[in-house]
Amino acid sequence: MFYHDKKLQYTVRVETPDPRFARMLQQAIGGVEGEIRVMLQYLFQAWGARGPAKYRDMLLETGTEEIAHVEMLATAVAMNLEGAPGSMQEQMAKQNPLVEAVMGGMDPRQYLSAGMAALASDANGVPFDGSHVYASGNLAADMYANVTAEATGRALATRLYHLTDDPGMKDMLSFLIARDTMHQQQWLAVLEELGGQQGVLPIPNSFPQEKEKQDVSYAFFSTAVDGIEPPSGRFTSGPSLDGKGEFSVVKIAPMGQEPKLAPPLPQAHAQLEQMQGGVRPQQTASQALGDSTIEVTPRTTKSKKASSK
């Protein structure tokens, strides 16, 4: 369970409110690289954690920290919406600054729907979407998902850093960027504890590799047409990273058949031509199929009858 403090994890200061920057911050709140996502991702991973309790505990620690990050960013949005930026006012002195701010680049819903506050959505106003909460039940897969979240999250924060001159905002972002640095480390450290690449690969490592088609387990498939050389690199030759195979390059070619699906099920109501082989049908649906179409027996049953003759 959870407790709160009325104070923020780190100071949020805005010297010159900038409604357009308030829109950009939304990406770090409700975007796919944002803080609602990591908060829920780490908490759901904790709540479903099976196996060593230590990782449940760790996920709970950091999931709780992330709630405070959403809070900081939501506060930063609210502060950036307090007043129209000076530059805008100079530029369009005779016009209404609110109108210009809302229409000229801020997220209009921060005004229309939230009355000058943050939303649970991204920089384009797309609502946060829970399908980005990855919690696979496999610890190694989850750690990689978490590294990804913190890598794209830190990239986002460094990009936001260039869209503001406000010292308060730069200071807040320098804190969040540092935390992303640590969190990248943290999830990778777990992978190291689990034995590194040799220990964890292939993920999941609990499926017997004899059951997979091992002749293509370490082959780089080139799908380029003739005349184009495949790229070469660490992934095209030499020992595989799990020490269990050797990389090779294979020019791809069909190993499978040309699929032929069964004719349409009568009750699925394709066109008659599809059911009669493509010739234009000489009969109406009723002539062809009879009254029985509508209570027609399904294909499997029919073919059984056929075979029982």
Q: Whole-number minimum distance, CB 203 to its own copies, in Å?
A: 4
Q: Does 79 bind its own copies (CB under 8 A)?
A: yes
- Which residue, 260 or 309, is less far from its own copies as judged by CB? 260
The helix (H) or strand (E) run that includes residue 182 is helix 167-193
Q: Does 169 bind its own copies (CB under 8 A)?
A: no
Centre a 10 Å sphere on the Cβ of residue 244 and count the other Cβ atoms it contains.
14
Q: Does 155 bind its own copies (CB under 8 A)?
A: yes
Q: Does 38 bind its own copies (CB under 8 A)?
A: no
Q: Using the rule CB under 8 A, which residue among 44, 90, 306, 309 binds its own copies?
A: 44
Q: Is 295 annotated as a binding residue?
A: no
- CA-angle at 208, arms to 207 and 211, nearest 5°: 105
Site of tokens 């075979």: 307
Question: Per CB under 8 A, which of residues 248..267 are in contact with its own copies?
Answer: 252, 254-267
Dihedral sign of CA atoms 200, 204, 206, 208 in order: negative
Q: Is 195 left (phi over 0), alpha (psi -120 to 50) or beta?
A: left
Q: Does 243 bind its own copies (CB under 8 A)?
A: no
Q: Does 22 bind its own copies (CB under 8 A)?
A: no
Q: Using the rule CB under 8 A, which residue among 223, 306, 307, 309 binds its own copies?
A: 223
248: DSSP letter: E
Q: Using the rule CB under 8 A, which residue among 38, 80, 144, 169 binds its own copies?
A: 144
> Minimal CA–CA distance to 10: which of 179, 139, 222, 125?
179
Q: Does 80 bind its own copies (CB under 8 A)?
A: no
